[in-house]
A and B are shown apart, each in its own frame.
Chain A
Amino acid sequence: MADRPVASGRVVITGIGAVTPLGTGVDKFWPRMLAGENAVGRITLIDPSPYTTQIAAEVKDFAAEDWLDKKEARRVDRFIAFAVAGATMALQDAGWKPEGEEAEEVGVLMGSGIGGLTFLGEQHRRMIEQGPDRVSPFLVPYMIPDMASGYVSIVHKLKGPNNCVVTACATGANAIGDAYHIVKRGDAVAMLAGGSETPVNEISVAAFSAARAMSTRNDDPLHASRPFDLDRDGFVVAEGCGALLLEDYDHAVKRGAKMYGEIIGYGMSGDAFHITQPDPTGDGAFRAMRMAMRNAGLKPEDVDYINAHGTSTPYNDRLETLAMKRALGDAAYKTKVSSTKSMIGHTLGAAGAIEALICLLSMRDSKIAPTINYEKPDPDCDLDYVPNKAQDHKIDVALSNSFGFGGHNVCLAFRKI
């Protein structure tokens, strides 16, 4: 057996890729996000007229054939195509194509909150209308959320640890955190990590509408996602993918790789309270933040920026504010907080990954993307939410919060290199 590289115990991010409603590719979406652009509109992927909620943030510039061969592009579920696109961009950005034995040291951990429900919906209709023997042989592989990791590994021939996280809207953050642990302990020299989600399909829109979780501001989509604003009435569902290449620090140095930043903390907790509602004291969110700060060795005043979960639901934004104040004390009032969901909506299982790479871009450029649609302050939400316009701000340490149905709470901590 070849000598295995010894892990440095430090994990850096050396490549990022994103598919977002403001554009496919980091260079496409990031300038638009800093300009405060808004991607929410009336749903076009399905006929929205029968649904309570008729708005979403859709990805408009994506073509699966740009990332997959023609046969696969034509039929894979959209969440798989997004995952392959994000992962491919992250590897290209890292300037690295692992081959041979090296590829055995690179793994994939990309999750999805709900998986291939678009394909499931089409096949279920086929079964009802045409009978069970008309169901596609590809239904199982294209529906299961772990196929994001599986497919990416096949496309890029990555033979290291291959796994999947499913923790609803905390999926992307959990995937990055778990991949961080894998690299930190030396089970891989690098991991592609992130999340992919494509929930703008009939069954998902119907289901989230029924759960009364989404904004119903159908006549005014541009003002529907309004995190921390007093008039917020629910999240805006969105599709997207975020992928990050996590790499052992020494390996990255040896490669001469550019480094966006280092992961220094990963906190997790369970609410143990309710299937969809957050703990009414914000305690679970607080404990996830506390764990991330403790294992990163951070004091409250060290935190320059928090990319909030900030979904624009009445509960989340109030309770997350409580949690941030408890975790940071008085320093919370001096910390910049923004919710980029105000511009691209809530990409569910991809959100934690997209927001992690937004933290890294914010560090790189010393710029914080705003919380748009912030018009009427809520007395329960009294932090600096970077309202409506991006701000120049030097960032050494950033946190990213993600919370999911089921009571999963995650906080990731990043430091500039």
Chain B
Amino acid sequence: MASDILERVKKVTIEELQVKEEEVVESASFIEDLGADSLDVVELVMAFEDEFGIDIPDDEVGEIKTVGNAVDYIGKKLGEGQK
């Protein structure tokens, strides 16, 4: 499940930020390592919402700074959905 989420997060990130696959590692920061600006992050978060069918409230966007953060956050959200 987690590896599936990671693959889909990678796919969305590559598509949105037009970065190379090898750059999208779990420790990579969207802003510092992958060249995103604040508007890119808003767009990226929307793309995650679309991809996973979840809602990410504005006050929780700050938790998603790296690829790994996104995987954890999305995993948690999807887990909540199943309860």
- A positions within 8 Å CB-CB of B: 69-71, 74, 134, 136-138, 141
Contact = CB atoms under 8 A, between A and B. Distances in A.
A80 to B, nearest CB: 14
B18 A138 contact: no
A69 B18 contact: yes
18 contacts: A69-B18, A70-B18, A71-B16, A71-B17, A71-B18, A71-B35, A71-B40, A74-B18, A134-B46, A136-B43, A136-B46, A137-B38, A137-B39, A137-B42, A137-B43, A138-B39, A138-B43, A141-B39
Nearest to B39: A137
Nearest to A65: B18
**Interface majority SS (helix, strand, loop, mixed), chain B:** helix
Contacts of B42: 137
Contacts of A137: 38-39, 42-43
Which 9 A-B residue pairs are closest in the complex by CB-CB distance?
Answer: A71-B18, A70-B18, A137-B42, A137-B39, A137-B43, A138-B39, A71-B17, A136-B43, A74-B18
A150 to B, nearest CB: 14
Nearest to B49: A134
A167 to B, nearest CB: 29
Q: Counting chain B CB atoms within 10 Å of each CB, which of A69, A71, A134 scores highest?
A: A71
Interface residues of B, number: 10
A71 B19 CA distance: 8
Contacts, number: 18
Contacts of A70: 18
A91 to B, nearest CB: 25
Interface of B: 16-18, 35, 38-40, 42-43, 46
Contacts of B46: 134, 136
Q: Counting chain B CB atoms within 10 Å of each CB, which of A69, A137, A138, A141 scores highest?
A: A137
B59 to A, nearest CB: 13
A74 B43 CA distance: 13
Contacts of B35: 71
A78 to B, nearest CB: 18
A137 B35 CA distance: 17
Given A134-B46, A137-B38, A138-B43, 15 more contacts: A69-B18, A70-B18, A71-B16, A71-B17, A71-B18, A71-B35, A71-B40, A74-B18, A136-B43, A136-B46, A137-B39, A137-B42, A137-B43, A138-B39, A141-B39
A136 B42 CA distance: 8
Nearest to A71: B18
Nearest to B34: A71
Contacts of B18: 69-71, 74
Contacts of A71: 16-18, 35, 40
Contacts of A141: 39
A137 B37 CA distance: 11
Contacts of B38: 137
Q: Counting chain A CB atoms within 10 Å of each CB, which of B17, B18, B35, B38 scores highest?
A: B18
A71 B35 CA distance: 10
A138 B38 CA distance: 11
Nearest to A74: B18
A64 to B, nearest CB: 12
A121 to B, nearest CB: 18
B6 to A, nearest CB: 22
Nearest to B41: A137
A141 B42 CA distance: 14
Nearest to A130: B50
Nearest to B38: A137
Nearest to A69: B18
Contacts of A138: 39, 43
Contacts of A74: 18
Contacts of B16: 71
A153 to B, nearest CB: 17
A134 B43 CA distance: 9
Nearest to A70: B18
A368 to B, nearest CB: 45
A70 B46 CA distance: 20
Contacts of A136: 43, 46
A352 B38 CA distance: 36
A136 to B, nearest CB: 6
A74 to B, nearest CB: 6
A74 B16 CA distance: 9
A71 B16 CA distance: 7
